[in-house]
């Protein structure tokens, strides 16, 4: 039986992971993801979960052990944040290049320095080119649901790419919300037992992580790009199936459109900021303003076609980035401008919420005003 | 646990005939043998059989397994795979392995 409980975002992720039955959990806790391994080790100690939790000596080892466990042919899980994700960087593209359907939760936290433990997207955004699918969540229920969907998407035979489920540090990991925890039997039907394509077997030797020379490396990278295109379709298919089974859905799985039917100008958001933006939008709509929100859930693969379609009637658009590519601009701003290069939409880029600076209603209101006037974007401080 | 048979892994090949498996896996064991690394060599070691005391230190220390014992019990260097690292020459207690720059 499914049950409704008031739990934290970390607890919700741990509950979802338990339902997905991974067998090996290499963990190196780091704020604000710490409560996830804490809860999972509790499940294992209580005999509620049949898995091996490895206390590794660093995040580099966590992702390396995850690679090894996948090579051995089992479903795995790990969680990290900030510098922890940065320390994994060396292995991150190897997991994707070896086409391992891993799932990792990133509790988004600013990268040091200066040292900061609060939320922004600089950790995950800095890893966006490494072949991992990146799905950003807005609330705790979505974190729970996306974790379950992530395994199904990753394990699709035409995808076989790892997934980063990105949840805002503290503002999701430590926030308590009512969450529907689904029934194990129902999850088992949705996500059957993991069947590896290949695994290490002394009777049938094979090489994982092989060497590719200039005559093949190019083709292997091309194959990853093709798999990402497949992922665009599979994310939507899995979402559809999830919606039918569990009755909840988040846009089509790629982007969520809020009041976009008659909108003349709109704001693009990612993650938890959307919640505040929704409240501001409600006020603007009461004032008779034709504003809208496009929430990007899937940053990788980047849903170009969907964004073009959603902005067909939009004159002015704004993008909030919680990360800055220092020396350039917000990465989502860059990508959305590139996506809309053939369209007549003016795009403004906003940098906000770095290092956990609250993104207030006033800031979002200001952003909407700038967008409406078609002015240049600013840093929302 | 069962492994899914997937023939797709062998369908695609690169221009040079290498299978483009999913995840760049090598599904055929022992394929490294086909890759002759001897042409990486700058220095070529030469073993003087008359001085050799057959202690096997070169054979034991060669990181590429490029030294082998022939039918007569003599240690020989397999130049298909010897990369010329000269560990054998350094380890030989009687200095029977000499080397020079290889002219190609």
Instruction: With CB atoms and an 8 Å threshold, state whether A99 touches B23.
Output: yes
> What ranges do the domains of chain B cover?
7-101
Cβ A171 vs Cβ A272: under 8 Å: yes
Band the pLDDT of A140: cuts 50, 70, 90.
very high
How do B97-101 and A255-258 pair as beta strands?
unpaired
Candidate from A111-125, A205-219, A271-285 with smallest mean pLDDT: A205-219
Q: What is the value of ipTM here, to two decimals? A: 0.81
Q: Is the pLDDT of residue B3 over 60?
A: no
Smallest CA–CA distance from A218 into chain B, residue: B14
- Strand ranges (E), chain A: 3-8, 24-27, 52-55, 78-80, 103-108, 133-136, 163-168, 176-181, 255-258, 265-269, 291-296, 298-300, 316-321, 346-352, 379-380
Q: Is the pLDDT of residue A217 over 70?
A: yes
Q: Do A207 and A270 share a domain, yes or no? A: no
Q: Do A292 and A149 share a domain, yes or no? A: no
Q: Which of A160, A196, A220 sits opposite B3 (nearest CB)?
A: A196
Beta bridge partners of B93: none
% of residues, chain A, pLDDT over 90: 97
Q: What pLDDT does A82 receive?
A: 98
What is the C-alpha to C-alpha distance for residues A117 and A102, in angstroms, rounded to an integer? 25
Q: Do A234 and A294 share a domain, yes or no? A: no
Smallest CA–CA distance from A194 into chain B, residue: B1
Q: Which of A195, A201, A208 sits opposite B25 (nearest CB)?
A: A208
Q: Do A279 and A336 share a domain, yes or no? A: yes
Across all residues in chain A, what is the average pLDDT?
Answer: 97
Q: Do A142 and A60 share a domain, yes or no? A: yes
Average pLDDT over residues A140-154: 98
Residue A71 CA to chain centroid, in angstroms? 24
B49-87 pLDDT, tens digit per residue, is 999 999 999 999 999 999 999 999 999 999 999 999 999
Average pLDDT over residues A175-190: 98
Beta bridge partners of B77: B67
Average pLDDT over residues A27-38: 97
Inter-CA distances, B83 with A335, B31, B44, B54, B96, Å: 47, 18, 8, 22, 18
- Structural domain contains residue A251: no
Q: What is the CATH number of the domain that holds A290?
A: 3.40.50.920
Nearest of A119, A136, A108, A126 to residue A330 by alpha carbon: A126
Q: Chain A contacts of B25, Cβ < 8 Å? A: 98, 198, 206-208, 210
Q: Which of A195, A201, A206 sits opposite B25 (nearest CB)?
A: A206
A94, A219, A225: best to mutate for the B interface, most B CBs within 10 A:
A219
Q: Do A178 and A274 share a domain, yes or no? A: no
Q: What pLDDT does A319 receive?
A: 98
Q: Do A197 and A325 share a domain, yes or no? A: no
Average pLDDT over residues B39-49: 96
Q: Do A109 and A161 share a domain, yes or no? A: yes
Smallest CA–CA distance from B9 into chain A, residue: A197
Q: What is the CATH number of the domain that holds A63?
A: 3.40.50.970
Smallest CA–CA distance from A198 into chain B, residue: B3
A248 by DSSP, 3-state: which?
coil
Q: What pLDDT does B103 receive?
A: 86
Q: Do A238 and A278 share a domain, yes or no? A: no
Return the CATH fold of B7-101.
Alpha-Beta Plaits (3.30.70)
User: How many structural domains compose chain A?
Assistant: 2
Q: Do A239 and A281 share a domain, yes or no? A: no
Cβ A46 vs Cβ A82: under 8 Å: no
Q: Which of B3, B20, B26 sits opposite A219 (nearest CB)?
A: B20
Q: Do A37 and A69 share a domain, yes or no? A: yes
pTM: 0.92
B43 by DSSP, 3-state: which?
strand
Query: Could you say which of A219, A246, A273 is where a domain stops?
Result: A246
Q: Chain B contacts of A220, Cβ < 8 Å? A: 20, 24
Q: Do A198 and A286 share a domain, yes or no? A: no
Instruction: With CB atoms and an 8 Å threshold, state whether A197 touches B22.
Output: yes
Smallest CA–CA distance from B1 into chain A, residue: A195
Looking at the complex, report in whole angstroms how far the Cα of residue B37 sits from the nearest Cα belonging to chain A: 14
Ramachandran region, residue A122 (left: φ > 0; alpha: ψ -120 to 50; beta: rest): alpha
Query: Could you say which of A178, A211, A246 is where a domain stops?
Result: A246
Using a 10 angstrom Cβ sphere, with 0-12 exposed, 13-18 middle and 19 or more buried, the burial of residue A172 is: buried
Band the pLDDT of B10: cuts 50, 70, 90.
low
Cβ A111 vs Cβ A126: under 8 Å: yes
- Structural domain contains residue A172: yes
Q: Chain A contacts of B5, Cβ < 8 Å? A: none
Q: Which of B3, B4, B26 sits opposite A210 (nearest CB)?
A: B26
Domain span at residue A292 reads 256-380
Classify the C-alpha dihedral A367-A369-A372-A374 as positive or negative: negative
Give the other-Cβ count within 10 Å of B12's Cβ: 13
């Amino acid at each position: 039986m499914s049950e409704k409980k008031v739990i934290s975002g970390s607890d919700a992720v741990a509950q979802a992971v338990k339902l997905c039955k991974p067998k090996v959990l290499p963990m190196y806790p780091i704020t604000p993801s710490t409560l996830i391994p804490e809860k999972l080790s509790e499940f294992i100690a209580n005999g509620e979960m049949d898995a091996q939790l490895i206390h590794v000596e660093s995040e580099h080892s966590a992702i390396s052990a995850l690679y090894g466990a996948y090579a051995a042919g089992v479903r795995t899980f790990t969680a990290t944040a900030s510098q922890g994700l940065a320390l994994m960087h060396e292995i991150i593209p190897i997991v994707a290049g070896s086409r391992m359907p891993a799932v990792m939760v990133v509790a988004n936290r600013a990268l040091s320095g200066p040292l900061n433990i609060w939320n922004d997207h600089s950790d995950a955004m800095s890893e966006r080119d490494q072949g991992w699918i990146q799905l950003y969540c807005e609330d705790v229920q979505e974190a729970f649901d996306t974790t379950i969907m992530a395994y199904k998407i990753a394990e699709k035979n035409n995808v076989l790419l790892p997934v980063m489920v990105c949840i805002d540090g503290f503002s999701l990991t430590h926030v308590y919300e009512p969450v529907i925890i689904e029934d194990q039997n129902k999850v088992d039907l949705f996500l059957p037992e993991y069947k590896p394509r290949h695994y290490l077997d002394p009777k049938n030797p094979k090489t994982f992580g092989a060497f590719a020379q200039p005559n093949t490396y190019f083709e292997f990278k091309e194959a990853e790009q093709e798999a990402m295109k497949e992922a665009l379709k599979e994310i939507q298919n899995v979402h559809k199936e999830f919606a039918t089974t569990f009755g909840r859905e988040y846009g089509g799985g790629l982007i969520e459109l809020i009041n976009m039917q008659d909108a003349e100008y709109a704001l693009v958001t990612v993650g938890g900021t959307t919640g505040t933006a929704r409240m501001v939008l409600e006020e603007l709509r009461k004032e008779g303003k034709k504003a809208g929100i496009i929430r990007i859930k899937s940053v990788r693969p980047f849903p170009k076609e969907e964004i073009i379609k959603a902005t067909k009637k939009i004159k002015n658009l704004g993008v909030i980035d919680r990360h800055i590519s220092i020396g350039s601009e917000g990465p989502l701003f860059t990508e959305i401008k590139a996506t809309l290069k053939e369209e007549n939409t003016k795009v403004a880029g906003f940098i906000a919420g770095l290092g956990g600076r609250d993104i207030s209603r006033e800031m979002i209101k200001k952003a909407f005003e700038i967008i409406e006037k078609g002015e240049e974007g600013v840093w929302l401080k | 646990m069962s492994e899914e048979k997937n023939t797709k892994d062998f369908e695609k090949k690169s221009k040079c005939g290498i299978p483009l498996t999913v995840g760049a896996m090598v599904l055929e064991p022992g394929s490294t043998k086909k890759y002759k690394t001897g042409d990486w060599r700058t220095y070529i070691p030469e073993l003087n059989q008359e001085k050799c005391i057959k202690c096997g230190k070169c054979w034991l220390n060669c990181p590429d397994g490029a030294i082998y014992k022939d039918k007569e019990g003599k240690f020989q260097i397999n130049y298909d795979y010897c990369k010329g690292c000269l560990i054998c020459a350094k380890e030989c207690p009687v200095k029977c392995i000499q080397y020079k720059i290889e002219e190609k």
